Amino acid sequence: MQHSVNTVFDKIISGDIPVEPVFENDDVLAFNDMNPQAPVHVLVIPKKRSSRFSELSSKPVEETGRFFAAVSAAASSLGLDSPGYRIVVNNGSDGGQEVEYLHAHILGGRQLKWPPG
Ligand code: AMP
């Protein structure tokens, strides 16, 4: 049995919390982060739940592939391919993960610094 199935992103997927999608396909929903860290800050979440990135090693590789293909398509649809962008997936406590539902951050619209904090 899965745990933490009632996170804010579960509620977004179920429709209990409405969001304005900026990109959607069969595999993912993408919407603006409520606390943006860049001019473009979009979250991409899979419609099929995983709690965190570290679970993906035990998931069907096709599922993971479709997720990242959708993240790439979402970034393209936001016009970020040419200027560039960053994908961030925080995993667990040291990674700064706050929501226990797999999500990729798409950050763009400004020059991003490296290394991250
Ligand atoms: P993380 O620290 O990687 O778990 O990121 C969670 C992100 O979700 C943060 O950047 C929050 O600002 C964002 N967030 C949390 N709740 C919502 C919401 N209802 N709508 C949009 N973004 C949210």
DSSP secondary structure letters along 49-109: --S-GGGGGGS-HHHHHHHHHHHHHHHHHTT-TTT-EEEE---HHHHT--SSS--EEEEES
DSSP label at residue 5: T
Cβ proximity of 53 and 102 under 8 Å = yes
Q: Taking residues 46-57, what's their average pLDDT?
A: 98
pTM: 0.96
Is it the case that residue 94 has pLDDT exceeding 70? yes
Q: The dihedral of CA 89, 53, 20, 81: what is its sign? A: positive
pLDDT in the model for residue 1: 46
114 within some domain: no
116 within some domain: no
| Structural domain for 55, as ranges | 8-108
CATH of the domain at 63: 3.30.428.10
115 within some domain: no
Which residues have CB under 6 Å of ligand 1? 8, 17, 33-35, 43, 90, 96-99
68 within some domain: yes
Ligand 1 midpoint to CA 8 (Å): 8
Count up the domains in the chain and report the number.
1
